């Protein structure tokens, strides 16, 4: 009123109440529409359109002009949504909650209460009986942790150790010392077929795709600036057939990215087979003995080396067994036709008693992977972080014929001098604090970056985190090791160790044992 005194006497002539657009997760819908040619969207502003108009308009203008988003906006990227998000009943029920909690406490790991059970694994009831506390990701009901005897499978939220901390520790230790089973049917599974599939994938993926049948390849998809658009595994099933597996929440994004980068004259078909297979991941030093007890397949290192796939028989059922690990331990992923999954699960659990088998949830998968410094897309890297900055340059087949999308930008960065930012693993010296993400990282008292993801590293004995360290003169190994680091959390600073290589099993001996 001091700036515009006339408002003191103007009064209110009309009170206008109009419609507003809301989204199920209370985030905008922005970016290039999937599977559409040159169509960009900016809508669903949840009553924040005027407030956000300038920034959103600036981002969209740059995105449309350059073809690449100018900042990390995955939380509002339209490609995060899936077809079920347009179900009217789902939208109505979820928006009541998403709008209502906007000004409530935003707890770490908070789960939605409304519009649940959109997607359930065929194993859902078995997991519930085993004590699973379910969370939701991309509509899937997924076991985040398993309740102990006499404990309710419900969250009690806190900014410190939540009520599942001890459960997580037991699951974590079981995988490190015995064997754990993770139900991961929600993972996105795309089947790519056709005579041009190999050449198409070689253009999109950083790694060499022309590998032997049965070979499993860890790779990324990049944009033309070298930023990471997808993080996935690719298994060659036949001469002209590949299976791609990636995170559940990236289903639309990855499928659309492949679709947009298939040449119009290429004979190449992408089919989403996510619901066709259940997936059980058996991880830990006893995994080989357990699987050998229920299958006649030879799971030895000689006959079943790391990074390979074999078709196996388990009882009367068939499955694809892929030797991979997102835990840092010896392990296999079993891809089972959905209609055969229940008998396989039952055999696995029955035989697992002799091998120390324990049900493990997604919180444990996260703490294990962070302890091993494994990356997760949209947390530790994304379209704005290059393959080299994320520490994944080893996946690039630099000299393959025809190159790959983003190669020129990577070569320029590789040959242009020292990297100015790099993803680093941190481990707190104090075993008590619990980190979330976005905590400030200080080197010798100067802020050099922020944490991207975190989890309690039970084997190492404290909370670990991954975060980027920035320095204009270059981030070298000496720069990392010679600094003194602290991480700020809740207005306190905690000293931490920093490393460019995994602090747990840095040579990956256990995964290849």
DSSP 386-449: BTTTTT-GGG--TTSTT--TTHHHHHHHHHSSS-SEEEEEEEESSSS----S--EEEETTEEEE
Note the pLDDT of residue 384.
97
> Is residue 177 a contact partner of residue 284, using CB atoms and an 8 Å limit?
yes
State the sign of the Cα–Cα–Cα–Cα dihedral 410, 414, 415, 421.
Answer: positive
- The reply to whether 126 falls in a domain is no
How far apart CA 213 and CA 438 sit, in angstroms, is: 42
The pLDDT tens digits of the residues spanning 83-105 come to 999 999 999 999 999 998 988 99
Question: What average pLDDT does the structure give for the chain?
Answer: 97
* Structure confidence by residue, pLDDT tens digits, 342-378: 999 999 999 999 999 999 999 999 999 999 999 999 9
16-38 per-position pLDDT tens digit:
777 888 999 999 999 999 999 99
Q: Where are the beta strands (DSSP E) in 329-430?
A: 331-337, 357-360, 421-428
Evaluate whether residue 258 is within a structural domain. no
Quick one: pLDDT band at residue 14, thresholds 50, 70, 90?
confident
**pLDDT of 7:** 82
The CA–CA distances, whole Å, from 387 to 112, 164, 356, 390, 407 equal: 33, 34, 38, 5, 10
Which of 64, 85, 104 is the endpoint of a domain? Answer: 104
Residue 128 lies in a domain: no
Residue 1 has pLDDT above 80, yes or no: no
Rounded Cα distance between 286 and 359, Å, is 14
What residues form DSSP beta bridges with 270?
A: 192
For residues 338 and 277, is the Cβ–Cβ distance under 8 A?
A: yes
Q: Which two tokens stand for residue 334?
A: 């079993």
Tokens of 207: 């790694």
**CATH for 435:** 2.40.30.110
Report the C-alpha gap between 149 and 170 in whole angstroms: 13
Average pLDDT over residues 141-150: 97
Give the rounded distance of the alpha carbon of 385 from its chain centre: 15
**Residue with the two structure tokens 């029955």:** 350
* Chain segment 286-334, per-residue pLDDT in tens: 999 999 999 999 999 999 999 999 999 999 999 999 999 999 999 999 9
**43 in a structural domain:** yes
Q: Name residue 427's beta-bridge partners.
A: 464, 497
CB 451 within 8 A of CB 428: no
Q: Annotate 439-499 with DSSP letters as a single string.
A: -EEEETTEEEEEEEEEEEETTTTEEEEEEEEE-TT---HHHHHHS-EEEEETTEEEEEEEE
Q: Give tens-digit pLDDT for 436-479.
A: 999 999 999 999 999 999 999 999 999 999 999 999 999 999 99
Q: Do 145 and 154 touch, CB atoms closer than 8 A?
A: no
Domain membership flag for residue 257: no
Q: Is 12 among the domain residues? A: no
Residue 130 has pLDDT above 90, yes or no: yes
Distance between CA atoms of residues 336 and 508, nearest Å: 27
Residues 218, 317 contacting (CB under 8 angstroms): no
**Res 142 pLDDT > 90:** yes
Residue 246 bridge partners (DSSP)? 188
pLDDT of 102 reads 86
C-beta of residue 172 within 8 angstroms of C-beta of residue 222:
no
Residue 465 in any domain: the answer is: yes
For residue 442, the cross-strand partners are 447, 486
Q: Which of 500, 355, 319 is nearest to 419 (CA)?
A: 500
Give the percent of the chain with pLDDT over 90.
94
Q: Cβ of 100: how many Cβ atoms within 10 Å?
A: 11
Quote the domain boundaries for residue 24. Answer: 19-104
**pLDDT band (50, 70, 90) for residue 6:** confident
Tokens 């379209």 sit on residue: 383
Neighbour-count burial for 161-191, b at 16+ CB within 10 Å, e otherwise: ebbbeebbebbbbbbbebbbbbbbbbbbbbb
Q: What pLDDT score was predicted for residue 5?
A: 87
- The pLDDT of residue 360: 99
Residue in the structure block whose two tokens are 């962070």: 370
The verdict on residue 73 lying in a domain is yes
**Residue 244, H or E segment:** strand 241-246
Confidence of residue 60 (pLDDT cuts 50, 70, 90): very high
- In DSSP terms, which residues pair with 381 in a beta bridge? 377
Q: Tell me the pLDDT band of 184, cut-offs 50, 70 and 90.
A: very high
Among 104, 138, 158, residue at a domain's last position? 104
Say if CB 44 and CB 81 are below 8 A apart: no
Report helix, strand or coil for 258: helix
Residue where a domain stops, chosen among 78, 104, 130: 104
Cβ-contact 444, 411 below 8 angstroms: no
3-state SS string over 77-100? EHHHCCHHHHCHHHHHHHHHHHHH
Distance CA(150)–CA(162), nearest Å, equals: 17
Mean pLDDT of 339-343: 99
Domain total for the chain?
2
Number of H helices, E strands in the chain: 12, 21
Phi-psi region of 57 (alpha: psi -120 to 50; beta: other; left: phi over 0): alpha
Q: In this predicted structure, what is the pLDDT of residue 15?
A: 80
Residue 235 has a pLDDT of 99
pLDDT band, very low/low/confident/very high, at 62 (cuts 50, 70, 90): very high
Cα–Cα separations (whole angstroms), residue 259 to 204, 240, 362: 11, 17, 29
| Total-model pTM | 0.95
């Amino acid at each position: 009123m001091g700036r515009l005194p006339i408002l003191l006497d103007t009064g209110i002539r009309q009170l206008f109440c109009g419609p507003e657009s809301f989204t199920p997760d209370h985030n905008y819908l922005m970016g290039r529409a999937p599977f559409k040619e040159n169509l960009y969207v900016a809508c669903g502003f949840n009553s924040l359109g005027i407030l956000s108009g300038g920034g959103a308009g600036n981002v969209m203008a740059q995105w449309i002009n350059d073809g690449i988003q100018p900042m990390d906006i995955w939380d509002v990227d339209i490609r995060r949504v899936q077809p079920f998000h347009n179900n009217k009943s789902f939208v109505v029920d979820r928006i009541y909650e998403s709008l209502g909690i906007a000004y409530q406490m935003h707890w770490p790991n908070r789960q939605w209460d409304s519009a649940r059970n959109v997607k359930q694994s065929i194993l859902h009831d078995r997991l519930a009986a085993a004590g699973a506390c379910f969370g939701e990701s991309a509509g899937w009901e997924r076991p985040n942790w398993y309740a102990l005897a006499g404990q309710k499978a419900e969250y009690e939220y806190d900014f410190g150790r939540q009520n599942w901390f001890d459960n997580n520790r037991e699951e974590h230790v079981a995988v490190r010392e015995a064997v754990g089973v993770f139900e991961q049917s929600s993972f996105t599974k795309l089947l790519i077929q056709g005579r041009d599939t190999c050449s198409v994938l070689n253009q999109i993926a950083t790694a060499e795709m022309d590998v032997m049948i049965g070979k499993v390849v860890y790779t990324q998809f990049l944009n033309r600036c070298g930023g990471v658009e997808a993080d996935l595994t690719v298994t060659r099933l036949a001469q002209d057939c590949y299976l791609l597996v990636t995170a559940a929440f990236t289903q639309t994004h990855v499928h659309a990215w492949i679709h947009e980068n298939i040449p119009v004259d290429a004979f190449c078909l992408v089919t989403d087979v996510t619901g066709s297979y259940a997936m059980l991941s058996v991880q830990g030093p006893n995994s080989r003995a357990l699987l050998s007890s229920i299958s006649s397949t030879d799971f030895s290192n000689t006959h079943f080396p790391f990074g390979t796939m074999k078709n196996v028989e388990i009882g009367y059922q068939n499955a694809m067994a892929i030797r991979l690990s997102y835990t840092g331990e010896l392990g296999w992923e079993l891809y089972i036709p959905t209609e055969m999954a229940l008998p396989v699960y039952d055999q696995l659990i029955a035989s697992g008693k002799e091998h120390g088998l324990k049900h493990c949830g997604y919180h444990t998968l996260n703490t294990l992977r962070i302890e091993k410094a494994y990356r997760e897309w949209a947390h530790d890297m994304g379209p704005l972080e290059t393959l080299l900055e994320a520490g994944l340059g080893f996946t690039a087949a630099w000299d393959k014929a025809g190159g790959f999308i983003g190669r020129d930008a990577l070569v320029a960065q590789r040959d242009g001098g020292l990297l100015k930012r790099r993803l680093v693993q941190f481990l707190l010296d104090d075993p008590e604090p619990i980190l979330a993400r976005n905590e400030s990282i200080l080197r010798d008292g100067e802020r050099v970056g922020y944490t991207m993801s975190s989890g309690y590293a039970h084997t190492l004995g404290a909370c670990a985190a991954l975060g980027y360290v920035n320095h204009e003169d270059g981030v070298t190994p000496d720069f990392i090791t010679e600094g003194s680091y602290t991480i700020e959390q809740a207005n306190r600073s905690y000293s931490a160790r920093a490393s460019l290589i995994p602090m747990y099993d840095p040579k990956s001996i256990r995964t290849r044992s």
